[in-house]
């Protein structure tokens, strides 16, 4: 499947989750944001939260994906649903999805890609 | 100062630190990367590390900056030198730099911007 298609899928999913996370987490803090960062040139995509809740700083990555050599690398997935399954539902072959948060030697025992 | 100038400054500094961090941290792991993510449309900029050292997963943000309403927000700074000082050295007025990792009410007691 074309890399351009993967770029659109990833950005679609991250924007969708951004909306959902923003609704759940915004509460009443002015500085609280859920951001997407889309770098199409380098093919890095991230969803993160940043802000203050009273005097507590919140900052962290929710999702980080890369496209490398035509495959989607899931570097970090802090969601409950698992973005890999969502990508499969959209039609991405499992071989084109690398669960990079699993140790390299473990990946051969999953149904997903190995590199 | 023009926002376009700020975009260039931020990307220059992050690329510079990417090289330095990559040299220090790469060691001998094939999957280890120091990445920059540049989203000029939304003005979010991040430097992070991702990879494996043996069976240990490394994933984390080194720097995260935004441009909002013509000002540079330092959301996260995990560097020793402090990127705020580097920006000042490049000619950015302190009022245009928000130390967002400090609580909002603390910022008035710094030499930097308050919002």
Residue of B31, B35, B48 with shortest CB distance to A104: B31
Residues 1-30 of A with CB under 8 A from B: none
Residue of B44, B50, B76 with shortest CB distance to A59: B76
Looking at beta carbons, which pairs linking A31-36 to residues 24 or more positions away fall under 8 Å?
A31/B100, A31/B104, A32/A58, A34/A62, A35/B42, A35/B44, A35/B66, A36/A11, A36/B39, A36/B42, A36/B44
In a domain, residue A77? The reply is yes
pTM: 0.93
In this prediction the ipTM stands at 0.91
Q: B58: which strand partners?
A: B51
In a domain, residue B58? The reply is yes
Q: A77: which strand partners?
A: A63
Between CA A55 and CA A9 the distance in angstroms is: 37
What pLDDT does A7 receive?
Answer: 97
Categorize the per-residue pLDDT at B17 as very low, low, confident or very high, splitting at 50, 70 and 90. very high
CB contact under 8 A, B46 and A46: yes
What pLDDT does B29 receive?
Answer: 65
Residue of B48, B57, B75 with shortest CB distance to A50: B75
A36-68 burial, b at 16+ Cβ within 10 Å, e below that, comes to bbbbeeebbbbbbbbbbeeeeeeeebbbbbbbe
CB contact under 8 A, B64 and A59: yes
Query: Which one of A57, A69, A105 would you mutate to disrupt binding with B, by most B Cβ within 10 Å of its Cβ?
Result: A57
HSE, side-chain direction, 13 A CA sphere, residue A46:
29
In a domain, residue B113? The reply is no
In a domain, residue B85? The reply is yes
- A68: CATH: 3.30.310.110
What pLDDT does B1 receive?
Answer: 67
From chain B, the residues in CB contact with A46 under 8 A are 37, 46
* Whether residue B83 has pLDDT greater than 80: yes
* Whether residue A28 has pLDDT greater than 80: no
Count contacts between A and B (CB, < 8 Å).
68
Between CA A78 and CA B41 the distance in angstroms is: 25
Check if the beta carbon of residue B66 is closer than 8 Å to that of residue B3: no
Report chain A's terminal Cα–Cα distance, integer Å. 16
Categorize the per-residue pLDDT at A58 as very low, low, confident or very high, splitting at 50, 70 and 90. very high
In a domain, residue A113? The reply is no
Categorize the per-residue pLDDT at B60 as very low, low, confident or very high, splitting at 50, 70 and 90. very high
Between CA A80 and CA A65 the distance in angstroms is: 16
In a domain, residue A63? The reply is yes
In a domain, residue B112? The reply is no
Between CA B115 and CA B108 the distance in angstroms is: 9
**Mean per-residue pLDDT for A15-27?**
81
CB contact under 8 A, B39 and A42: no
Please give the tally of structural domains in chain A. 1
Categorize the per-residue pLDDT at B53 as very low, low, confident or very high, splitting at 50, 70 and 90. confident
In a domain, residue B114? The reply is no
**Mean per-residue pLDDT for B69-91?**
95
In which domain, by residue range, is A71 found?
A: 3-107
């Amino acid at each position: 499947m074309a890399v351009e298609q993967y770029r659109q899928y990833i950005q679609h999913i991250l924007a969708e989750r951004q909306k959902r996370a923003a609704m759940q987490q915004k509460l009443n803090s002015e500085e609280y944001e859920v951001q997407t960062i889309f770098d199409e040139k380098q093919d890095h995509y991230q969803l993160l939260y940043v802000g203050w809740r009273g005097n507590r700083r919140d900052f962290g990555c929710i999702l980080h994906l890369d496209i490398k050599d035509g495959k989607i690398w899931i570097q970090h997935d802090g969601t409950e649903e698992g973005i890999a399954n969502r990508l499969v539902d959209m039609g991405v072959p499992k071989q084109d999805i690398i669960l990079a948060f699993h140790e390299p030697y473990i990946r051969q025992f999953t149904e997903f890609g190995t590199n």
